[in-house]
Chain A
């Protein structure tokens, strides 16, 4: 079986669709893991920085998920933090319910599957209305759904006692929980006491799985159909590609991966709250920034950009209150440098001159 998986992981064709070889991506991730692990083991890395590793990886995972939506499907989503939120809460509640009942490893594995399954389900349900819309309308509706999810979870009270589950959208008292009942979700106070099951290694494994699935998808019949729709919907229809089905598939997979990141999120934090800081539209936008800077449709780029950009403000900590200012200026400058037609022409011109000069020297 492992042999088969390994075989599947090494593609025959070297040039991938976006000019990036998938094997190289796994190598980059594994190498980064080895270096970082070494830094931890030898004590070079501060504990503060160590604490940032898991978040860095789960943001990289959401970025991969979002890139399937933005880069491969070609639809702008501003609500992926919402899917992350669902994965986080679903798995956290499951872990709370089974804490002490199941062995730790199995509990986390099942919690992971529950979180992903819920995010998949919501991705599917939300995809049905959303994917009927186009362009910026689609984007704003995903934003709306993200906010609705966050808002509802913020107002949700969920508890359990011998009579089963109790839910309310108004307050804790309305649950009518018996004295030995247990609060699962406490409104805006969120979920507390989720076991810390996620760690750097597990996160990296999840990242690798996400990348494996995403890159395989790109190099498959389903991926080609999805990208055909992205490139030209009318032509895709004309060759018999079922637009709705493939759009749904891409969107749902994308949501599922975001959900997986959510599971890591909730199992790495003491108190999980559906606050704007963690799951608001601004988080979705932050992830979109990772995707665009890493290259639209470039999965490896998403991972690299998410990692660097997540750590950047932390590395700039020495500059204290100027760091976010610098971050925003860097963002604007990089965007103009990378995307402005004038800047691209200037760069190409410079490269050509450089080449010519080198030829003369030889």
Chain B
């Protein structure tokens, strides 16, 4: 039974990774950049909800909604101000370093406003959950909600990308920016939209992550951000189902190795999985192999 409990917890953590990884992978696929600040949007979302619910006494739903809206706007703004000027820079390291700068900026702003102390986050899911097998297997409400939300996001995203004009535009820009421009696609708008979706998802991930692990600091988003990045690469960066699978694999491996092997070594095992997968399949589980033309 404890194995099942761990598995469900792993699925839940994996779902959160998956939601973050979706943002990573979309931004990478379309804007061709590693947005190192992406993880910090989780933290920003967390603090917004915390302020709304714990300080201002608003209902959780209002807090989450506000967090999504503000993170979306912040995402669009960051892209416009910090990333867009460097889109055609000589080295793609330039925008990577700028993203690191944005990450520092967000963390230190949070540090300044909220302080370094850990804020205890109120669970936004009030449903206590269910008990199975005569109470032997208890699944928390937030766990179930997390898994369902991530599934819903995956389905909506797939529908959006495959069946709407904007979604198709994203695919086109991901393939070839120049050609997309010639086809009359507004590349700037498409990239903005991508950042908007990614940042909005990060806010949702923030709500779920902080509900499941209710402690919030300015650095809350950093490690989940990196893990989600690993998940995105594991699944094949640029691939939406890949991000989902990568996230789930990572979450399950992490929780299982914490339970059965060693909590100290769980991160080493998680990163070890990435190394092994990439050695067998250098472009991730669902990534496409591209060969440079001679």
- A residues bordering B, Cβ < 8 Å? 70, 76, 129, 132-134, 136-137, 139-141, 143-145, 147-148, 151-152, 154-155, 169-170, 187-188, 233-234, 281-282, 285, 288-289, 292-293, 296, 321-322, 324-325, 327-329, 331-332, 335-336, 338-343
Which of B86, B264, B268 is within 8 Å of A339, CB to CB? B86
Minimal Cβ-Cβ distance residue in A for B267: A151
For the complex, what is the distance from the CA of A329 to the CA of B91, rounded to whole Å? 20
Q: How many A-B residue pairs have CB under 8 A?
A: 135
25 contacts between A and B (CB under 8 A): A129-B275, A132-B279, A134-B282, A137-B237, A139-B34, A140-B278, A141-B275, A144-B272, A151-B265, A151-B267, A151-B268, A152-B265, A169-B262, A188-B264, A233-B292, A288-B97, A289-B100, A292-B91, A324-B108, A328-B101, A328-B108, A331-B97, A335-B86, A335-B101, A339-B94
B82 on the A face (CB < 8 A): yes
B230 on the A face (CB < 8 A): yes
For the complex, what is the distance from the CA of A233 to the CA of B291, rounded to whole Å? 13
Minimal Cβ-Cβ distance residue in A for B28: A136
With known contacts A147-B271, A292-B93, A136–B112 Cβ distance under 8 A: no
Per-residue CB proximity of B85-102 to A under 8 Å, as 1/0?
110111101101110111
Cβ of A336 and Cβ of B108 under 8 Å apart? Answer: no
Cβ of B82 and Cβ of A336 under 8 Å apart? Answer: yes
- Taking the closest CB of chain B, its distance from the CB of A62, in whole angstroms, is 16
Question: In chain B, residues 20-68, which have Cβ atoms closer than 8 Å to a Cβ of chain A?
Answer: 28, 34, 36
- Taking the closest CB of chain A, its distance from the CB of B265, in whole angstroms, is 5
Query: How would you classify the secondary structure of chain B's contact residues: helix, strand, loop or mixed?
Result: helix
B233 on the A face (CB < 8 A): yes
For the complex, what is the distance from the CA of A119 to the CA of B112, rounded to whole Å? 38
Which of B85, B86, B104, B279 is within 8 Å of A328, CB to CB? B104
Query: Please, which residues of chain B bring their CB within 8 A of the CB of A292?
Result: 91, 93-94, 97
Query: How would you classify the secondary structure of chain A's contact residues: helix, strand, loop or mixed?
Result: helix
Per-residue CB proximity of B272-293 to A under 8 Å, as 1/0?
1011001100111000000010
Question: In chain B, residues 99-146, which have Cβ atoms closer than 8 Å to a Cβ of chain A?
Answer: 100-102, 104-105, 108-109, 111-112
B229 on the A face (CB < 8 A): yes
Cβ of B86 and Cβ of A155 under 8 Å apart? Answer: no
- Taking the closest CB of chain A, its distance from the CB of B277, in whole angstroms, is 10
B183 on the A face (CB < 8 A): no
Cβ of A325 and Cβ of B85 under 8 Å apart? Answer: no
- Taking the closest CB of chain B, its distance from the CB of A215, in whole angstroms, is 21
Query: Please, which residues of chain B bring their CB within 8 A of the CB of A155?
Result: 262, 264-265, 268
For the complex, what is the distance from the CA of A187 to the CA of B262, rounded to whole Å? 13
For the complex, what is the distance from the CA of A315 to the CA of B100, rounded to whole Å? 21
With known contacts A332-B82, A336-B98, A148–B272 Cβ distance under 8 A: yes
B226 on the A face (CB < 8 A): yes
Cβ of A328 and Cβ of B105 under 8 Å apart? Answer: yes
Minimal Cβ-Cβ distance residue in A for B266: A151
Query: Please, which residues of chain A bring their CB within 8 A of the CB of B282?
Result: 132-134, 137
Minimal Cβ-Cβ distance residue in B for A233: B292
Cβ of B88 and Cβ of A324 under 8 Å apart? Answer: no
Cβ of B292 and Cβ of A234 under 8 Å apart? Answer: yes
For the complex, what is the distance from the CA of A141 to the CA of B275, rounded to whole Å? 6
